[in-house]
């Protein structure tokens, strides 16, 4: 899929998951919006996965450590055919498979996640298993920047470098906001590039992590014998003006006026995209 198609797909999926959140009355809209372009570029260009064979042993593995941003993941899996799109209407309802965090009862989900700080360790295990089994699949994981305050992340980072897992790519959604405010006020993280370099990783900085073209280039930037971490500098709430850069939209539920405004803004963005603006 070319970059124009990826941008179009991102806008379409934003409308899908915002509607899910609005109708369900729950969700993590700001977190979803910041990582939409990351997941769209992964699932529609990079990942080797097939909804017809979700357990193919040759498939790439994706583990969403940032589990609370599940609404965009549900929208993508439905769009790609891992389950019927009509099931999105059941999100967060009683007895639904589509919970508020990834649930491996759903095809396309490798592991239950959402307890922050654990995804990288799971991804290290997946990549190491591929090595031991002589398989060529690649493992990807997406982390929120707030979860980097967890010590388990850095234990996993040491292990990934120790085992020289160049079949592992971690992506950090660096939107600089978490549920209680700025990451730099809660637990300062910078300089992230130097931290990960010191831990033995190949570090790729993406100045605009909401730019699919830059993300696609980043996925190709690897170094033999080292795991890769992509630091994607994103905007929390990207694409919805009321949400952009606002910590309180971490798990905000839209009222009818906010929902209608968001839909209109995304329609305008789609029109501008189609007109080449």
pLDDT tens-place string over residues 69-78: 999 999 999 9
Tell me the CATH number of domain 3-274, given options 3.50.30.30, 3.40.50.970, 3.20.20.70, 3.40.50.2020.
3.40.50.970
Q: Could you tell me the pLDDT band of residue 277, with boundaries at 50, 70 and 90?
A: low
CA distance 248 to 250: 5
Give the mean pLDDT of 98-118.
95
Q: Which residue has the tokens 């450590």?
A: 65
In the predicted structure, residue 102 carries a pLDDT above the cut 80: yes
Question: What percent of the chain has pLDDT above 90?
Answer: 96
Extract the tokens encoding 94: 């009683």
Give the mean pLDDT of 115-123.
96
CA distance 90 to 146: 29
Cβ atoms within 10 Å, residue 272 = 11
Extract the tokens encoding 207: 């100045």
CA distance 204 to 244: 24
pLDDT digit string, tens, across residues 187-211: 999 999 999 999 999 999 999 999 9
**What's the pLDDT score for residue 276?**
85
pLDDT digit string, tens, across residues 230-244: 999 999 999 999 999
- Mean pLDDT (the chain) is 96
- Cβ proximity of 113 and 63 under 8 Å: yes
**What's the pLDDT score for residue 222?**
97
Extract the tokens encoding 63: 């583990």
**What's the pLDDT score for residue 117?**
94
Element (H, E) at 259: helix 256-274
pLDDT digit string, tens, across residues 20-41: 999 999 999 999 999 999 999 9
**What's the pLDDT score for residue 187?**
93
Give the mean pLDDT of 145-163.
97
């Amino acid at each position: 899929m070319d970059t124009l198609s990826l941008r179009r797909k991102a806008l379409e999926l934003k409308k899908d998951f915002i509607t899910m959140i609005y109708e369900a009355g729950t969700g993590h809209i700001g977190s979803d919006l910041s990582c939409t372009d990351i997941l769209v570029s992964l699932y529609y260009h990079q990942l080797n996965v097939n909804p017809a064979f979700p357990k193919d042993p040759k498939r790439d593995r994706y583990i969403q450590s940032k589990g609370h941003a599940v609404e965009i993941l549900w929208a993508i899996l439905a769009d790609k055919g891992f389950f019927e799109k009509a099931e999105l209407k059941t999100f967060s309802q009683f007895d639904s498979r589509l919970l508020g965090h990834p649930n491996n009862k759903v095809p396309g989900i490798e592991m239950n996640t959402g307890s922050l700080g654990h995804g990288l360790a799971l991804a290290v295990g997946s990549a190491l298993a591929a090595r031991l089994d002589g398989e060529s699949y690649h493992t990807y994981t997406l982390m929120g920047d707030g979860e980097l305050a967890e010590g388990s992340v850095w234990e996993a980072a040491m292990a990934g470098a120790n085992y020289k897992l160049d079949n592992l790519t971690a992506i950090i959604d660096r939107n600089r906001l978490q549920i209680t405010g700025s990451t730099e006020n809660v637990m300062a993280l910078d300089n992230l590039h130097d931290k990960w370099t010191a831990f033995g990783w190949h570090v790729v900085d993406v100045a605009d992590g909401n730019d699919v073209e830059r993300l696609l280039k980043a996925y190709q930037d690897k170094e033999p014998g080292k795991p890769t971490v992509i630091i994607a500098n994103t905007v929390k709430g990207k694409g919805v003006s009321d949400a952009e850069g606002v910590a309180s939209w971490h798990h905000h539920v839209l009222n009818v006026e906010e929902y209608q405004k968001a839909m209109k803004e995304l329609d305008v963005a789609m029109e501008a995209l189609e007109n080449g603006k």
